Amino acid sequence: DLWWKNAVIYCLDVQTFADSDGDGVGDFNGLTERVDYLAGLGVTCVWLMPFYCTADLDDGYDISDHYAIDPRLGTFGDFTEFMTVATDRGLRVIADLVVNHTSDQHRWFQQARQSRDSEFRDFYVWQDSVPDSGPTGVVFPGKQEAVWTYDTSAGQYYLHRFYRHQPDLNVAEERVRDEIRKMIGFWMAQGLSGFRVDAVPFFLETAGIDQAMELAPHDYLRDLRAFVDRRRGDAALLGEVNLPAEQQREFFGDEDGDELNMLFDFLGMQATYLALARGLATPVADSLRNRPDVPDESAFASFLRNHDELTLDKLTDRERQEVFDAFGPDPDMQIYGRGLRRRLPPMFGGHPHRIRMSFSLMFSMPGAPSLFYGEEIGMGENLNIEGRLAVRTPMQWDAGPVAGFTSAPADALTRPVPEGDYSPDRVNVASQRMDETSLLNWFERLIRLRKELPEVGWGACQVLDVDDEILALRFDWEGRRLVTVHNFSGHKATARFAIEDASRLDDLFGTAKPAAVRKQTARVELPAYGYRWLRLVS
């Protein structure tokens, strides 16, 4: 019942997935019509990006009403229809929980800024002058000037770790914590299986807040998790925690894992790009060895891309430059001095083996894989779109000029589809359905395989000793024994590694003959960017 240990997560934004009413904006009815596509692909959990009422200056991450659905996306009834169909098809649904801040249009902030006597004043973080202690460093360099902004009608500065239109909530205020609990309870009552918790370290941070917090921030996270478990025993919290390895562990909680059920593996993701840029597996092997121990019932979520920039903030400057040089040399592809606003296939020049190897690798990382919509067909970005939004273009369903996303004309789209090699006529679901060798059909098989191999989520994972170009992982769980092998280099390579308890290795994801084990050594031949999933046979 610990479904998140082996979930296949699929992140999408209702706004860009499918438009049913021809206004150029995706909606819940459009999504509902595509639930069978998702179920057929085999994903097990849909992560919905924010669909709440919003001022829409940060693509929905600036919520103005947590209890209402953005009217462009549909009604509450439409949402419930979607939940009903998704549940019927066996899909779990989680949604973004954005509680570090609200939109400045939220009625709490609007009232708070009117007067110091407002009952909502303490919902936010105010100071008469910018304090010396307190958070420093903006999240969006170049787009955000400060973390404190003076509000003339409030007559004070308010804290905002993100854009100035996203005032931070005051986590030290008990009424704020109560409101957050209520929101969680409300959305779980609508059928959600949990949340992707936005910006967790920022949300828990108390620097800059004068008000004393009666409980430690991690006790608060523990309290939230206990609340979630009380309301719905099978719900999970998947946190966005992009921190160094030594700080990650704390967010899982105590030995039994009583805080976040899952953490995104930001470090493994960054190491993967460095490894791919170098053609050497060592950064990934090192990152796996440095991973904190995960409590039995918790898990990492692996990913290669998400809706934000591909952040490389945890690499050294030289390492980051290596990745920039390899995958995003044009300054227009880079953002905030730390990341790339690209999708994976164009970064790899569309190289089909490299693309498949990367996703095979991601699916073989200990933990649960998380996909970003369109990855299953190899969508590219549109750099003509501003900032991070370049990767958030409409889902490409068919070869038409609007990608089958809408019945509206192309100029009604809020975000234009990519042109050139990644335009809908080159990359779309309809044509890949017809082609047995397509990426889409390959993904279906990869997902089926991954679901049949729970040892990847549950098992003990060992990094085997092989040449630097190759990553070989062994998983052991309840008598099941699996080895995955990935070649990071653009030439043939042979993986030789010790196997003492098998006579051969059977290929589970391909047509290769079984690999022989002789003198307790396995020998696996790999083409350039080759990958193998191998079952140990005695």
Under rule CB under 6 A, residue 162 binds ligand TEU: yes
CB atoms within 10 A of CB 164: 18
CB of 291 vs ligand TEU, minimal distance in Å: 18
Contact with ligand TEU (CB under 6 A): which of 9, 35, 147, 199?
199
Measuring CA to CA, how many Å separate 155 from each of 27, 151, 170, 404? Answer: 40, 6, 18, 50
CB of 343 vs ligand TEU, minimal distance in Å: 16
Active site residue 286: no
CA–CA separation, 304 and 357 (whole Å) = 12
CB of 139 vs ligand TEU, minimal distance in Å: 4
Nearer to ligand TEU, 158 or 162 (CB): 162
CA–CA separation, 176 and 209 (whole Å) = 14
416 and 368 in contact (C-beta within 8 Å)? no
CB of 307 vs ligand TEU, minimal distance in Å: 6
CB of 308 vs ligand TEU, minimal distance in Å: 5
Measuring CA to CA, how many Å separate 283 from each of 242, 273, 278? Answer: 17, 9, 9
CA–CA separation, 265 and 260 (whole Å) = 13
CA–CA separation, 11 and 2 (whole Å) = 20
109 and 124 in contact (C-beta within 8 Å)? yes
- Type of residue at 517: V
**Which of 36-44, 217-225, 303-311, 363-371 is the region at the interface with ligand TEU (rule: CB under 6 A)?**
303-311
Under rule CB under 6 A, residue 61 binds ligand TEU: yes
Under rule CB under 6 A, residue 98 binds ligand TEU: yes
The token pair at 416 is: 């234009």
Catalytic residue among 62, 104, 240, 265: 240
Nearer to ligand TEU, 199 or 315 (CB): 199
Nearer to ligand TEU, 101 or 474 (CB): 101
Side-chain half-sphere exposure of 98, counting CA atoms within 13 A: 26
Q: Where are the alpha helices (DSSP H) in 174-297?
A: 174-189, 200-204, 217-231, 245-248, 266-278, 282-290
Under rule CB under 6 A, residue 313 binds ligand TEU: yes
Contact with ligand TEU (CB under 6 A): which of 78, 198, 205, 319?
198
CB of 51 vs ligand TEU, minimal distance in Å: 14
CA–CA separation, 210 and 347 (whole Å) = 46
Nearer to ligand TEU, 72 or 165 (CB): 165
Contact with ligand TEU (CB under 6 A): which of 83, 139, 213, 528?
139
Nearer to ligand TEU, 340 or 473 (CB): 340
Under rule CB under 6 A, residue 58 binds ligand TEU: yes
**Which of 305-313, 342-350, 460-468, 513-521 is the region at the interface with ligand TEU (rule: CB under 6 A)?**
305-313
CB of 196 vs ligand TEU, minimal distance in Å: 9
Under rule CB under 6 A, residue 29 binds ligand TEU: no
Nearer to ligand TEU, 314 or 532 (CB): 314
Buried b (16+ CB within 10 A) or exposed e, 251-284: bbbeeebbbbbbbbbbbbbbbbbbbbbbbbbbbb
- Local structure of 10: helix, strand or coil: strand
Nearer to ligand TEU, 184 or 515 (CB): 184
Distance of CA 364 to the CA centre of its chain: 16
CB of 349 vs ligand TEU, minimal distance in Å: 25
- Closest by CA to 497, choosing from 461, 526, 527, 473, is 473
Nearer to ligand TEU, 390 or 482 (CB): 390
CB of 306 vs ligand TEU, minimal distance in Å: 7
- Type of residue at 330: D
In three-state form (DSSP H/G/I as H, E/B as E, the rest C), the secondary structure along 446-480 is HHHHHHCCCHHHHCEEEECCCCCCEEEEEEEECCE
Under rule CB under 6 A, residue 311 binds ligand TEU: yes
- Local structure of 531: helix, strand or coil: strand
**Which of 304-312, 316-324, 363-371, 450-458 is the region at the interface with ligand TEU (rule: CB under 6 A)?**
304-312
Measuring CA to CA, how many Å separate 38 from each of 2, 8, 33, 440, 534? Answer: 21, 11, 10, 12, 27
Could you give phi then psi for residue 143, rounded to 5 degrees? -115, -15
Nearer to ligand TEU, 37 or 162 (CB): 162
Nearer to ligand TEU, 387 or 454 (CB): 387
Q: Which residue minimizes CB distance to ligand TEU?
A: 61
Catalytic residue among 59, 62, 198, 381: 198
Under rule CB under 6 A, residue 308 binds ligand TEU: yes
CB of 530 vs ligand TEU, minimal distance in Å: 31
**Which of 112-120, 127-135, 306-314, 472-480 is the region at the interface with ligand TEU (rule: CB under 6 A)?**
306-314
Q: Which of residues 219-258 bind ligand TEU (CB under 6 A)?
A: 240, 242
Active site residue 198: yes
Query: Which residue's structure tokens are 């779109």?
Result: 385
204 and 160 in contact (C-beta within 8 Å)? no
Query: Which residue's structure tokens are 């860009």?
Result: 16
Interface with ligand TEU by CB under 6 A: which residues? Answer: 58, 61, 98, 139, 162, 198-199, 240, 242, 307-308, 311, 313
Q: Which amino acids are annotated catalytic?
A: 198, 240
